[in-house]
Structure 1
Amino acid sequence: MSGTSYLTVAGGGTANIHSGVLSIPSSLGTTVNSLLQTYLDGVSGSVGAATAGFENYNAVNGAIASVGGAGINFLEEITNTDSVGNTVSGAPLGGVVSVNPAATTLVVQAPGNLTISGSSSTSAAVFGSASNVAYSVSGGAGSIFAAGGNDSVYAKDAAETVTSAGNDTLTFASATTHNEVINAVGNATTRVYVGGADIATVTASDSSQASVVFLTNAGGSLDFINSSSKAQTIYSGSYTTAGGGSIYATNAVTAFGGSGGGFFVGGRGGFNLLNGGTGNSTLVGGGANDTLISGGVQNYLYTGVGAETLMGGGVSNVFQVGLENVGIGMTSAVGDLVSAGGSGAQDFLLGNLAATTLTGSTVTGASNVYDILGAVSTGSGLTTLGGSTLTITDFGASDHIYLIDNTGFGPNAPTFDTMQAALGGGGTNILLSDGTQITLKGVSTSNISVSGSGHVITLT
């Protein structure tokens, strides 16, 4: 979906301020434009019948022209036209334009950059695609249609539904819970910042791209649906304080990547559901009780903090379990369940694990590689690992366990020590030189082969 259409509303008259028609360029698309035009037709009818007030603010020279109305509704237009509809040349004046407190509908059609302080009474605002609007509002609830310009919206303690068709930045911050709805459409590039206790629902459609970032101490939640063909981004991380500590966004994220996939980071509040869809995805857990699901051709899944479930489908998957997590540092996988079901290479990179169960893929053509690390390079230097406990199920003939460090089969890599039949039968327990204990379910000791100077474990 692309191209520019035109919405119309009362205004720009040649006889007086509201007798004509004001054209508003829009890249919102056919369906949204049609619904919005129906709404604007109703507003125009009320203005024409004198049941709604009307005001035109000329952003070029600051002149205001208005007519009264009998009802409670009020249309304000910020334009580059005068009281008889003539276009006034020149760029908009600097400074902040304050919306009339009575305005229930706001239309902005003045080419150039405008800074607008909104009204909590405004239930619908339309920003034409030729205008670049910096809009702020405190309180209230309404709908904002950013029709294709380079717009920014800052909503404080307000519940807003924003449809974005341009290169837009949307910031929401509320001390108490408010519901924010964002729809990125067309070829939009939409950046969403969520703070405070706000609950956000974000949908990307057509060929749009949306990125969502949770701000410092954000405690709300996010529902994200990718119906676009493009990859999307969700980042819910940590922020460094002046003293060097970290402040986390303790929110929860539910995301579906659709065919576009994306890069999704869960919140530290846990209970994140990150589904990469059928597109390539990178999924990063945040807190306990997360579920990460991939289904693309090439996927990357990272554990966060607490017990999590990782399921890799599609073709190839890389699982990073109990290692460094962006913004958190080194993590430990405690009671995690990690399962591969892809048809290609399944790579498990394993760090600090406790009572973690790993299940390899048995799909035809799949291979499973388990890299058990004795040391890794992190942001703080070399970190030595060891003493993990893990269980591997479905260990097959094409699978390998490699005992390595940050350099490969280096000086900090663990080696095979001993093995014995698991208590109760049905498997083998393997002890490594660093104290790590591996249980291979359904594998007898006679079927295990150790090679590579004690660094490689396979089946005979």
Structure 2
Amino acid sequence: MQTYLNGVTASVTGGTASFTNIDITAGTVFGIGVGVAPHFTEITNVDANGASTNGAAAGVATVGAGTTDLFVQVPGNVTVDGVASTSVAIFGGNSNVTYNVGGGTGSIFAAGGADSLNATGSGSSYNVTSAGNDTLNFNGTNGVETVTATGNATTSVFLGGGDVATVTATGNSKVSVVFHTNAGGNLDFVNNSSQAQTIFSGSYTTGGGQNVFAPNSITVFGGQGGGFYVGGRGGFNSINGGSGSSTLVGGGQGDTLIAGGANNQLFAGAGGETLMGGGTVNGFYLGLEEPGIGSIQAVGGLASAGGSGTQTFLLGNVDGTTLTGSTVSGSQNVFDVLGSYTTTGGEALTFGGSSFTINDFSGNDTINLLKSVSNGAGGPSVESVQAGLAGGTQILLSDNTVITLSNVTTSQVSVNGAHNVITFV
């Protein structure tokens, strides 16, 4: 950075660049060679003689047309209306900058204050380094954004339009990414931080009760910090929670959700999803609901557990889904088949007629037939247990749900009718 600033000084003093200083605290402006490109603008509390003006900044500064490089270093809060020609903007650690810019491309360095970026316009594309408590709002169309959160930054990223974004959390930073309503872009997110991160895309409900739908798609690696990640409605999301504890929510057809930490929750979206849980203790939720959408059906797809501890499969409206429990020593696989369910939006659902296959049902597996999540009594009951035409065993329930147990004979299936529990013997 110092090398860059030394180069700026040499260019201005050598007459090959022009310079404007806006002392926003005193309300004065002075310039050197204005009109010569490139043009450097700084917003400070320093006058033409190099003396500091007392007091904190408060107000709006408008950057002149043709400015290529912008520097803001002034105590207090300042709003800067930028121009698309600016390719480098640097905000000092003592400044809280609200930077408004339409269109353009370039690099922005937010060095440690509480800065806000509002980038709009078609093709608005920026590479942002965030080191403070920053809010970055990209609400243009067809932009390409890159955000890197460093140190102890707390960075909030908002994406709109059809932007394509790459966001990386490093150090000890915390990042949240939220897609605006109808945002159709894509996100690549990498968590190299020690902290858990958050992504809301697909569909979600805001604090004010508004439902947001975003037909986007995301690719996520959660790293050691894990996090809470919601896939986009465009489907084919690839969400890897990493080695930390994670909650992964599918958003559309063809998602792949992978968790490798401890105490993970994997929620399948509509259609065919692939859910894979390693680590310790996983919960798989299929055919229940999507936030803001309501009831869904899981068609095809698979859910596979490979971790230790208890692996819980909560099953609602599923069709042709394949389930594989963990075979790790000491693991327990629990398959809960629900007769009814109430969504977070209050929608009362009654299930029945589902079909799914459990691979290699064995002594560490249990099937519970439940009325609801909180009430086991009154759930579907077993009507029949018979050999499957293609091998294995098929179990017909009173609500017409068909459970297929592969590589299991009928004599190896035990039904406790009083408690609606199916086990291996």
TM-score where L is the length of structure 2: 0.96
User: For residues 94-173 of structure 1, what are the structure 2 equivalents within 5 Å?
Assistant: 94=59, 96-157=60-121, 158-173=124-139
Structure 1 residue 382: Cα displacement: 2.9
Q: Aligned with 2:308: secondary structure?
A: coil
Match of 1:410 among 377, 385, 390: 377
Give 1:291 deviation, angstroms: 0.4
Q: How does 1:199-238 map to 2 (within 5 A)?
A: 199-238=164-203
1:148–1:72 distance in 2 versus 1, CA, 3 Å:
same
Are residue 355 (structure 1) and residue 325 (structure 2) matched? no
Offset from partner CA, 1:57-109 (integer Å, 9 cap, x none): 01112200000178521111100010001111123243x21111121110001
The 10-residue stretch of structure 1 (109-118 or 69-78) with the greater mean CA deviation from structure 2: 69-78
* Matching residue within 298, 305, 312 for 1:340: 305
Distance, in Å, in 2 between the alignment partners of 1:245 and 1:139 is: 29
Structure 2: which 5+ residue stretches go unaligned? none
Counterpart of 1:27? none
Q: Deviation digits for residues 205-237 of structure 1, max 9, x if unmatched?
A: 000000000000000000000000000000014
Give the aligned residue type for 2:68.
Answer: T
2:234 corresponds to which residue? 269
Which residue of structure 1 aligns with residue 355 of structure 2?
389
Aligned match for 2:410, one of 445, 448, 456: 445
Q: Secondary structure at the match of 1:41?
A: helix
Cα distance in 2 between the residues matched to 1:55 and 1:174: 29
Q: Is the 8 A contact 1:216 1:239 kept in 2?
A: no
1 CA distance for matches of 2:212 and 2:113?
A: 34
Alpha-carbon distance in structure 2 between the residues aligned to 1:160 and 1:37: 22
CA RMSD of aligned residues (A): 1.6
Contact 2:381 2:417 in 1 (8 A): no
Whole-angstrom CA distance in 1 between matches of 2:40 and 2:64: 9
Shift of 1:245: 9.5
Separation in structure 1 between the aligned mates of residue 338 and residue 295 of structure 2, nearest angstrom: 13
Instruction: Supply the AA of the counterpart residue of 1:285.
Output: G
Q: Flag as ranges the 4+ runs of structure 1 deviating above 4 A.
A: 244-247
CA distance in 1 between partners of 2:350 and 2:89 (Å): 57
Contact 2:203-2:290 within 8 A present in 1 as well = no
Deviation at 1:305, TM superposition (A): 1.5
Does structure 2 retain, via aligned residues, the 8 Å contact 1:51–1:69?
A: no
Partner AA of 1:172 in structure 2: F
User: Is 2:401 aligned against 1:436?
Assistant: yes
* Count of residue pairs brought into register by the alignment: 419
CA distance in structure 1 between the partners assigned to 2:212 and 2:168 by the alignment: 28
Partner residue of 1:399 out of 365, 368, 376: 365
Q: Which position in structure 2 is the counterpart of 1:5?
A: none
CA distance in 2, matches of 1:375, 1:69: 72
Match of 1:288 in 2: 253
Contact 1:402 1:457 in 2 (8 A): yes
**Counterpart contact for 2:218–2:237, Cα < 8 Å:** yes
Q: Match of 2:67, SS?
A: coil
Structure 1 position 260 matched with structure 2 position 240:
no
Partner of 1:344, secondary structure, is strand
Correspondences of 1:182-193 after superposition (within 5 Å):
182-193=147-158
**Gap runs ≥5 in structure 1:** 1-35
Q: CA deviation at 1:408?
A: 2.3
Residues in 2 aligned to 1:281 and 1:227: alpha-carbon distance in whole angstroms: 15
Q: CA deviation at 1:452?
A: 4.8
Amino acid at match of 2:275: L
SS at match of 1:104: strand
Residues 129-187 of structure 1 deviation map (CA, whole Å, 9 limit, x = unaligned): 11100111001101000000000000013100110000000000123x11000000000
Amino acid at match of 2:101: V
Shift of 1:298: 1.1
Distance (whole Å) between structure 1 residues aligned to residue 42 and residue 260 of structure 2: 48
Following superposition, the deviation at residue 238 of structure 1 comes to 2.9
In structure 1, how many angstroms separate the alpha carbons of the residues matched to 2:58 and 2:328?
65
Partner Cα distance (1:247, 1:167) in 2: 25
Q: Cα distance, 1:377 vs. partner?
A: 2.1
* Partner Cα distance (2:387, 2:333) in 1: 23
SS of equivalent to 2:139:
strand
Give the drift of 1:247.
5.3
Structure 2 residue corresponding to 1:197, chosen from 162, 173, 191: 162
- Identify which of 13, 24, 27 aligns with 1:62: 27
Identity %: 56
| Partner SS state of residue 367, structure 2 | strand
How far apart are the structure 2 equivalents of 1:133 and 1:294?
A: 38
The SS at the match of 2:270 is coil
Contact kept? 1:361, 1:394, Cα under 8 Å: no
- Aligned partner letter, 1:154: N
Deviations 1:356-411 (CA, angstroms, capped at 9, x unpaired): 00011111121100000001122224321111000000211011000002232223
| Conservation of the 8 A alpha-carbon contact between 1:61 and 1:93 | no
Superposition deviation, residue 285 in structure 1: 0.2
What's 2:387 paired with?
421
**Contact 1:237–1:327 (8 Å) recurs in 2:** no
Is 1:82 matched up with 2:47?
yes
What is the CA-CA distance between 1:329 and the residue it aligns to?
1.2
Question: Equivalents in 2 of 1:264, 1:289: separation in Å?
Answer: 16
Task: Tell me if the contact between 1:185 and 1:208 (Cα under 8 Å) persists in the aligned partners.
Answer: yes
Residue 49 of structure 1: CA displacement? Answer: 1.3
Does 1:368 find its partner at 2:338?
Answer: no
Distance (Å, rounded) in 2 between the aligned partners of 1:310 and 1:78: 51
Counterparts in 2 of 1:57 and 1:312: CA distance versus 1, 3 Å:
same
Go from structure 1 to structure 2 and tell me whether the alpha carbon gap of 1:127 and 1:246 turns closer, same or farther (over 3 Å shift).
closer
Is the 8 Å Cα contact of residues 50 and 70 (structure 1) preserved in structure 2?
A: no
